A and B are shown apart, each in its own frame.
Chain A
Amino acid sequence: MTDISQDKSALQDDHGPDYAPGTHPSLPPPSSSVGPIHWIRVNLFSSIPNILLTILAVWVLWATIPGLLNWALFDAAFQGDSRSDCRAVAEGACWAFISSRFGQFIYGFYPVELRWRVDLAAIGLVMALVPLLFDKVPYRRFGLYFAAAYPFIAYFLLMGGLGLEPVETSKFGGFMLTMVIGVTGIAVSLPIGIVLALGRRSDMPIVRVLCVVFIEFIRGVPLITLLFVASTMLNYFLPPGTTFDLLLRVLIMVVLFASAYLAEVVRGGLQAIPKGQTEAADALGLTYWKAMRLVILPQALKISIPGIVNTFIGLFKDTTLVIIIGLLDPLGIGKAALADAKWQGLAAEVYIFIAILFFICCFGMSRYSLYLENKLHTGHKR
């Protein structure tokens, strides 16, 4: 069909053949306005500034990519027992360092023979998350039950007890610690955040003021000061003689921190729900809590999910701050390893490895949030 019309357009002179009104066929566009050459012209060379930009971009690529690839891949050493081993083989990156410490980067100082428990917990996490995050999963109902039970399962798997050999939290480290802090942080802070958001919109002035003060206080100080509170001050506020685990103290602070940010996200969602919904719920005779649970919150949470995911991404990135008070997340492991005389001076390798690790997780999450946003938008457009 295309061929025929192309023939016609080839035959056509300036005026074209006369068609009776309403019978003009669709012709293919002139070759100068479609196709790869047209695309290149419009997207890369449409004007003088555009050409300059293209040249600049090509120069940037040319100046960075080959050097980077050389350093990271072609001229890199993947095996060896020390930095000098690497240098003997290649001039570029020394990835042997990462592979030699890979176990620590992932599990921290968790006993090697018990690492299977961490693996199991990670598999469980995936199984719990899939039915939570995607709504078209077979047997979603059972998945959700599993997700509800998961925190307890994970607790015993990681900490031991119930016949499993106990492991102290000071042995937690590496990427596993990141996941523990991140997942606990978001799971516990979400309900607190919702309560805070409702409190901030409550008609009870005292409750409202308290919530506002709490939220604004937490949002006004850097997380690191809260971590200082966890590491140095929190014990002062407990009855004399009680001490508890640093990881737990950090978790409390992370939860408080995340809940303040989540409260603001959820508040945004609540504000977006039209007043008619509350009025309709009132008209149906629902009590405040019933109206919230059955009508308002499901809608508000649904539209705040992208914001919640973004908060989680932020929290996930912020877990790296725990190195400042001495916990050994991947960054802490990396810093400690850099102090090893055998491997000194390999900061770039370590931090780039960690950067890629975090990038994969965070970028994945941001794609998920984008997917949700698109889904929400199509939902609203009917």
Chain B
Amino acid sequence: MAVAESHMDQGFTFSKLWRDKRYRGVLMQILVIAGLFAFVTFIVHNAIENLAALGKTFGFAFLNTPASYDINQAFIEYDSRSSHFRAGLVGIINTGVVAVCGIVLATILGFLFGVLRLSNNWLVSRLVYCYVEFTRNVPVLVQILLWYGIIVNSLPTPKVAAADHGIWDVIFLSNRGLYIPAPVFGDGTWLAGIALVIAIAFAIFFKIWAKKTQDATGKIYPVFTINLAVIIGLPLLAFAAMGFPLTWEIPELKGFNFKGGAVLKPEFTALWLALSLYTAAFIAEIVRAGIQAVSHGQTEASYALGLKPSWTLRLVVIPQALRVIVPPLTSQYLNLTKNSSLAIAIGYMDIVATIGGITLNQTGKEMECVIIVMAIYLAFSLMISLFMNWYNKHIALVER
């Protein structure tokens, strides 16, 4: 206090500490810091004593020991002798896979439903309203379990599904997942690949060229239609030229399950569907609100200038609606990613189920495991909010 006193105004009295606005602020902050410090010391001290009492140490060395459990969906090489670290990596990738798939499907459905909700077709708009309200107001965990329950309990066993011939004997929907033929590409596929690259390059070039031509001559080309046709058509043509070097690996019943083909496992399917449908309902509302936020006057002005409805949508409504839609949309993406942690309830092996679940239980490293899982989600959240801030800055309407 004596040190502080020498710096203060000559008229300093102790009563100023809580009467003068400036000093009081400083005092408050010092108190807050002291309190926080005391609190942190207290819990760290407790943690050290508790760990010592249990004979545990704090450290991440366990990550290099063998995990000795299996993961049924691994996109990188993994077996039970791999380390916990690798198990965590598999978990992160699985979280990423379901999050990305979920975001893609939820965005498509959400935009579709949001637009349909605004459709002047009364029946469709009511139907979407019912879907949105029902889905939004039921916990996502219930929906995940419901989908999983339906898939596992109500779908036939592989044996029955195979006996029923599935769909044309190539696609089988059973309680072990959805089995579809896997494409096996033959020798000539490279040409189609090259054609695709060429088509994409052409599409980019054509878009730039069309814009330049329009600027110079005013001529408008149907860029989207032409590009779509080229991107689909050219590889198909190349593929046909090589005589369709494609065979299908058809799933077959071997023992109790199908072998071969590609499979969507029940855990992934349930999680993917539930997360997408749940988030789509929220996105639909965001899209609806975003489009409605563009005032009626904007479309009227555009019509009055002679722009046709499709161009009004593209040039006037969508650019403005996107500014309103994107910020809450990113936070929905974040929510979906965080909700994917519910995977543990149905045994989809994401980061929570691997590091936060089996690894935690096996090693007893509660603190370390929870910290790792939290840090991964935090890093992801931070990235999304950085993007959001960047986007908001770049796209914000210039006002005075």
Contact = CB atoms under 8 A, between A and B. Distances in A.
Interface of A: 42-44, 46, 50, 53-54, 56-58, 60-61, 203-207, 210, 216-217, 219-225, 228-229, 232-233, 235-240, 313, 317-321, 323-324, 331, 335, 338, 345-348, 350-352, 354-355, 358-359, 362-363, 366
Nearest to A363: B137
Contact of B121 (A57, A362, A363): A57
A331 B143 CA distance: 11
B32 A222 contact: no
B341 A355 contact: no
19 contacts: A43-B120, A44-B123, A54-B124, A204-B28, A224-B342, A225-B374, A228-B360, A232-B366, A236-B47, A240-B46, A317-B137, A319-B139, A320-B141, A320-B142, A347-B145, A347-B150, A351-B149, A359-B138, A362-B136
B50 A222 contact: no
Contacts of B122: 43-44
A359 B344 CA distance: 23
Report the 9 A-B pairs with minimum CB-CB distance, sorted nearest first: A347-B149, A220-B381, A362-B137, A351-B146, A43-B122, A317-B139, A232-B366, A222-B338, A237-B43
Interface string B31-42: 011001000000
A220 B47 CA distance: 24
A318 B356 CA distance: 19
Contact of B370 (A219, A228, A237): A228
B160 interface: no
Interface in B309-352: 338-339, 341-342, 344-345, 352
Interface residues of B, number: 58
A356 to B, nearest CB: 8
B57 to A, nearest CB: 13
B46 A237 contact: yes
Given A220-B378, A232-B370, A225 B352 contact: yes
A221 B377 contact: yes
B361 to A, nearest CB: 9
Contacts of B385: 216
Interface in B127-145: 127, 133-134, 136-143, 145
Contact of A219 (B25, B367, B381): B381
Contact of A225 (B145, B146, B377): B377
B10 interface: no
A362 B36 CA distance: 38
Contacts of A220: 377-378, 381-382
Contacts of B70: none
A224 B360 CA distance: 14
Contact of B120 (A42, A236, A338): A42
B87 to A, nearest CB: 17
A53 B137 contact: no
A248 B127 CA distance: 42
B140 A363 contact: no
Given A222-B338, A347-B146, A347-B152, A207 B139 contact: no
A224 B127 contact: no
Contacts of A42: 120
Nearest to B134: A359
B374 A221 contact: yes
B344 A324 contact: yes
B137 A225 contact: no
B355 to A, nearest CB: 11
A44 B121 contact: yes
Given A60-B127, A225-B373, A324-B342, 16 more contacts: A44-B121, A204-B32, A224-B344, A225-B374, A233-B370, A240-B53, A313-B137, A317-B139, A319-B139, A321-B141, A345-B153, A347-B146, A351-B146, A354-B142, A358-B139, A366-B137
A50 B116 CA distance: 11
Nearest to A338: B149
Contacts of A350: 149
A90 B324 CA distance: 51
A232 B49 CA distance: 16
B382 to A, nearest CB: 7
A284 to B, nearest CB: 17
B120 A348 contact: no
Contacts of A358: 137-139, 142
A100 B385 CA distance: 48
A50 B150 CA distance: 34
Nearest to A58: B123
Which of A53, A220, A238, A358 has its CB near the most chain B CB atoms (within 10 A)? A220
Nearest to A229: B370
Contacts of A235: 50
Given A204-B25, A240-B50, A348-B150, A53 B377 contact: no
B345 A324 contact: yes
